[in-house]
Amino acid sequence: MQILFIGDIFGRPGRTIVKDRLPEIVRQHGIDLIIANGENSAAGFGITPALAEELFDLGIDVITTGNHVWDKREIIDYFQMVEGNGGGPQRRVLRPANYPSDMPGWGVYEGRKGKISYAVMNLQGRVFMASNDDPFRVADQLLVDFHAEATSEKISIGWYLDGRVTAVLGTHTHVPTADERVLPNGTAYVTDVGMTGPYDGVIGVKKELVVGKFLNGMPVRFEPATGDVRLCGVVIDCDEKTGKARAIQRLTLC
């Protein structure tokens, strides 16, 4: 089974490159299952129901998120439209599983592709981020999107879950890291998949605005950058009998 994971899709530039390039990736790599982080798809901040459905229409199976999940309030109503593990599109948008359990939405999705069953879990780190439940203990259960700031926390959860999940894929920092590998017990790992969006900026935002904020500390409304749009993802070759990864390959398409 070939699994494609697409890193943080940022604003319209990110959505457009996914739309333009996804069919060729699927063809070239024989992709069976597509998961994408969509926490920045609405102009960098959050995701709306309409944008989630636009991504599903492109063939994405499950959308993960992170600390930006609540930026667009409509997503709360969307989550409240489903009960249980139904196959509806609302159920296939995840928020981190280690948020308080009475928050709207779900952190795990269990689905099927043909005869193969799979599970996706979204987790958020606690280092330099909001304090959530312990992501290590919540994860004790297939493919994990670990949305975290600190590389040490990400690498640690990779080792902690090695052999128990197909992949631990880092998101959130928006910069692809060159450390993709299959850990000794069969878990594919990368510290950060990298953003799918404009690289002519600072992690997706117009560079003048962010540089200005560093210079003068004044509040500023962040707007998505537009240039140098790249799609960053990883393809995981997975043995569907054991759930173990055989290989992980990093993709960057311009």
Contact footprint for Fe ion (CB under 5 A):
8, 39-40, 66-67, 172
In b/e form, how buried is each residue of 192-230, taking b as 16+ CB within 10 angstroms? bbbbbbbbebbbbbbeeebeeeeeeeeeeebebbeeebb
Tell me how far, at minimum, the Cβ of 95 lies from Fe ion, in Å.
12
Nearer to Fe ion, 72 or 186 (CB): 72
CB 174 within 8 A of CB 10: yes
SS3 26: helix
Would residue 68 show up in a list of annotated catalytic residues for this protein? yes
Tell me how far, at minimum, the Cβ of 173 lies from Fe ion, in Å.
8
Tell me how far, at minimum, the Cβ of 9 lies from Fe ion, in Å.
9
- Which secondary structure element, helix H or strand E, spans residue 79, and what is its range? helix 74-79
Tell me how far, at minimum, the Cβ of 8 lies from Fe ion, in Å.
4
Nearer to Fe ion, 9 or 245 (CB): 9
Nearer to Fe ion, 116 or 129 (CB): 129
Contacts of 175 (CB under 8 A, 6+ apart): 192, 194, 195, 203
Nearer to Fe ion, 186 or 201 (CB): 201
Options 29, 68, 147, 172, the catalytic residue: 68
Residues annotated as catalytic are 68
